[in-house]
Amino acid sequence: MLFTKMHGLGNDFIVIEDNGMDDNDYSTLASKLCHRHFGIGADGILVVKKSEIADSKMLIFNSDGSQAEMCGNGLRCYAKYLYDNNVVRKNPMTIDTLDGVKKVLIEEKNNEANKVQINMGKPILEPSVIPANFTENIINTKITADGEEFQITSMLMGVPHTIVFVEDFDNTDFEGIGKRIENSSYFPKKTNVNFVKVMNGKEFKIRTWERGAGLTLACGTGACAALVACALNNKTGKEALAHLAGGDLHIIWDDSNDVYMTGPAITVFKGESFI
């Protein structure tokens, strides 16, 4: 099986073409390919499929084999893959995901996709849609997870996201707290957990504990959800630079309620897998 290894700010993916397998088989394949010692190593796999309603359809499976509805960094890599390999040499292009069709704009350099902008769609705050076991929107809401209290803001931004604002960013236990909130009974489909330190009205630092992948170097949907949470909690305006462990993303939440994410996508190598 031929594959391409890519990353968006260190959130890394193995891109493969659809070979007709079903989702269960892709799920098993993802956990094998993504293994850092016994496989190629990645946070997830992206499967390139044909679409009847868009230029292409992306499936994403996390490193633990679970399937996600959307992936921001993955979608930038996916668009670059389509563009650079002439699978879809269109700009803008549309890509279908389990979270709906996304419009993608390519910024080209040396005849290849360099930066990619995606209209990530609208954040959904309605608890039953996230889904989350709350009766009112979760904005600066107190929860208890394993006996410890946290103030959280949650939404569906393609996938479920929870934001925890922290002051002492460098000494925060991302993994310990992330796991507790991810698996708490508030979120029946689990949640990604984003730790955010606001630097000023236009910049924040973020680290994400991801559902199905653990602590990653960057999360695109997470950075978008974080900007919405920052604005809802009056901590920033509706446009900011997100500083992730792997680099920066530019995020805008516009007046029509759409969130735009712009950032790089990198091809690392191509290879053949015998798994």
SS3 140: coil
Q: Please, which of residues 178-207 interact with ligand LBFN2T5F by CB under 6 A?
A: 192
- Which helix (H) or strand (E) segment is 27 a member of? helix 23-34
Tell me if residue 34 is catalytic.
Answer: no
**Residue among 115, 135, 117 at smallest CA distance from 125:** 135
Which residue of 42, 47, 68, 225 would you call a contact of ligand LBFN2T5F, by CB under 6 A? 68
| Binding of residue 211 to ligand LBFN2T5F (CB under 6 A) | yes
Antiparallel, parallel or unpaired: β 112-119 and 100-109: antiparallel
SS3 254: coil
- Which helix (H) or strand (E) segment is 264 a member of? strand 259-264
Catalytic entry in 71, 77, 224, 230:
71
Do 50 and 20 touch, CB atoms closer than 8 A?
no
CA distance 50 to 57: 6
The size of the interface with ligand LBFN2T5F (CB under 6 A), counted in residues, is 17
User: Could you tell me the smallest distance in angstroms from the CB atom of residue 210 to ligand LBFN2T5F?
Assistant: 4
Shorter beta-carbon distance to ligand LBFN2T5F: residue 106 or 224: 224
| Binding of residue 71 to ligand LBFN2T5F (CB under 6 A) | yes
| Binding of residue 12 to ligand LBFN2T5F (CB under 6 A) | no
CA distance 68 to 120: 15
Q: Which residue stretch of 83-91, 146-154, 217-225, 243-251 sits at the interface with ligand LBFN2T5F (rule: CB under 6 A)? A: 217-225
Q: Please, which of residues 137-176 interact with ligand LBFN2T5F by CB under 6 A?
A: 159
In degrees rounded to 5, what are phi and psi of residue 160? -65, 130
Which amino acid is present at 179? K
| Binding of residue 11 to ligand LBFN2T5F (CB under 6 A) | yes
On whether 72 is known to bind a ligand per the annotation, the reply is yes
SS3 169: helix
Tell me if residue 230 is catalytic.
Answer: no
Catalytic entry in 34, 77, 219, 230:
219
Shorter beta-carbon distance to ligand LBFN2T5F: residue 28 or 200: 28
Phi-psi region of 111 (alpha: psi -120 to 50; beta: other; left: phi over 0): left
| Binding of residue 219 to ligand LBFN2T5F (CB under 6 A) | yes
User: Could you tell me the smallest distance in angstroms from the CB atom of residue 111 to ligand LBFN2T5F?
Assistant: 26
Which amino acid is present at 249? L
| Binding of residue 62 to ligand LBFN2T5F (CB under 6 A) | yes
The Cα-based distances of 65 to 53, 57, 93 in angstroms read 26, 19, 28
Catalytic center residues: 71, 219
**Binding interface with ligand LBFN2T5F (CB under 6 A):** 11, 62, 68, 71-74, 159, 192, 210-213, 216, 219-221
